[in-house]
Amino acid sequence: MRSDPLTRQRRWFGLGLITVAALATYYYCFSAGLPVLWGPSAYAADVAAGRELFEHEWTPNDPLAHGDGLGPVFNAKSCAACHFQGGLGGGGEVQHNAVGFEVLPRPNDPTFVTGSIHNFSVTPGQKESATLVRKLYPVVPGRTTRGGDPHCPTVSVVPDFDPVRTESIQTTALFGSGWIDLISERAIRHNQQSRITSDALNEVIGTFAKVPVGRLRVLPDGRVGRFGWKAQHATLSEFVAAACANELGLGTPTMAQAKPLKGAASECAADLDRTQFHQLVSFVKMLPKPVEVTPERPADRDAAAKGKELFATVGCATCHVPDLGGVSGVYSDFLLYTIEDPTKPGGSGGGYNEPVLPQMQLPSRPEDEPKPSEWKTQPLWGIADSAPYLHDGSAKTLKDAILRHQGDAKAVTEAYTKLPANDQAAVIAFLKTLKAPPDATPLRDAAITKLTP
């Protein structure tokens, strides 16, 4: 008995719905998300206008600004002043480092505070410094308490507690940022979960991972952070807005300009309107990807090829994932790790032991806030043209940067140091093939102005 056309249509429609539901379920539960199939795009006119804003040297009450222009506190007068290595949009040198600070919860104030110490101010009275931060958030005096049986007294000593931590932070290269912005959040989560599952299976059969799985930076609204040394921004647009506000003192439609630590700041309109901000983001978004070059000499090619294999063998590629979410050559998993030994205070990695002072009943650090010793896995593409290295630029060479991995990746560092000298050199030879994009926009002014605080 033949079914009528309407019945057949309903059957096919039902099968279609089931298929779509099955595919959606598979995507949601098992997929790493849709890979990046094509790169970022923007109108050429917007990119050109964005470049003008990127290179523009801002001044107080600047005619291009819709607010008060540069300041009131800032670290540079233009984006290009700190982003120039390997071409316009690259990293910056140590003298352009910013200084970040955080204030741990105190007995009289449970608030966790983070911010930047700006190198410059429009008015001298609003000059910022680490000394000023410590004056605003002074050391909590310790105390000595006595108790117990009078015949056998006990003494409890609570030491002074300095709630302020500071870190010198180097300017990162922006090349390929538009591609990173396109990586699916699911790809980052999936990579982390895959490692968790793999480590659990390996532990059952008696093998252990060289590197513990890094922490995902989940922002208060549930999104995954990927931009900034602490993965504090989820999108490129937010990252650019924060840079405008904190580094130049330029307010944008989505973020107000930084307020000085000392003195009042008058309310004013955003310095960049929506069109200007869109243009600036468009320029940064379209900065080209770094490349992996092939050395010309056969001996150098062989060394780099061997170094790339060793890079994976010793465990570097565990965190510096070569390809993620369809973006090849990025060399990052965008997770947080302890880079240097956290038990050694005072190091450039900012390692220190969190205070354990139950007598003072201090609130704990918020779970979603990275520890000072934790840093996002920095993408390695373009690293050959971004010396010095690490978050503060304290590692002068690539080898020094590798050897400084004494935290979560300590086992990887040890595996590297056990390699013969020629193999160690081969790993460095490979890293030197990760170059800034050859088509990077050249600087219009080769002389980068060095501002002196």
Measured distance between the N- and C-terminal CA atoms of the chain, rounded to whole angstroms: 90
- C-alpha 188, offset from chain centre: 14
Mean of pLDDT over the chain = 88
Give the pLDDT mean for 132-152: 83
- C-alpha 114, offset from chain centre: 15
Concatenating the DSSP letter of every residue in 170-209 gives PPPP-TTHHHHHHS-HHHHHHHHHHHHHHHHHHHHTT---
% of the chain with per-residue pLDDT over 90: 68
More confident residue, 451 or 400: 400
Confidence at residue 358, expressed as pLDDT on a 0 to 100 scale:
45
Pick the range with the lowest mean pLDDT from 106-120, 248-262, 274-288, 427-441: 106-120
Do the Cβ atoms of 288 and 440 come closer than 8 Å? yes
Instruction: Give the C-alpha separation, 202 to 107, whole Å.
Output: 44
Instruction: Give the C-alpha separation, 106 to 131, whole Å.
Output: 18
Domain regions of the chain by residue span: 44-134+161-435
Q: Which two tokens stand for residue 375?
A: 């840093």
349: confidence class by pLDDT, cuts 50, 70, 90: very low
In angstroms, what is the C-alpha Rg of the chain? 26
Confidence at residue 103, expressed as pLDDT on a 0 to 100 scale:
92
Do the Cβ atoms of 80 and 247 come closer than 8 Å? no
- pLDDT tens per residue, range 252-303: 999 999 999 988 777 899 999 999 999 999 999 999 999 999 999 999 999 9
Do the Cβ atoms of 173 and 90 come closer than 8 Å? yes
- pLDDT tens per residue, range 306-322: 999 999 999 999 999 99
Confidence at residue 332, expressed as pLDDT on a 0 to 100 scale:
98
Instruction: Give the C-alpha separation, 71 to 118, whole Å.
Output: 10
Concatenating the DSSP letter of every residue in 123-135 gives SGGG---HHHHHH
- pLDDT tens per residue, range 368-392: 889 888 999 999 999 999 999 999 9
> Kind of pairing, strands 323-324 and 291-292?
unpaired
4: confidence class by pLDDT, cuts 50, 70, 90: low
The CA distances from residue 275 to 99, 159, 238, 279, 333, in Å, are: 30, 53, 15, 6, 33
Q: Which runs of consecutive H residues, i.e. helices, occur in 60-149?
A: 130-136
> Kind of pairing, strands 164-169 and 120-121?
unpaired
Confidence at residue 453, expressed as pLDDT on a 0 to 100 scale:
47
> Kind of pairing, strands 143-149 and 327-328?
unpaired
Instruction: Give the C-alpha separation, 321 to 407, whole Å.
Output: 18
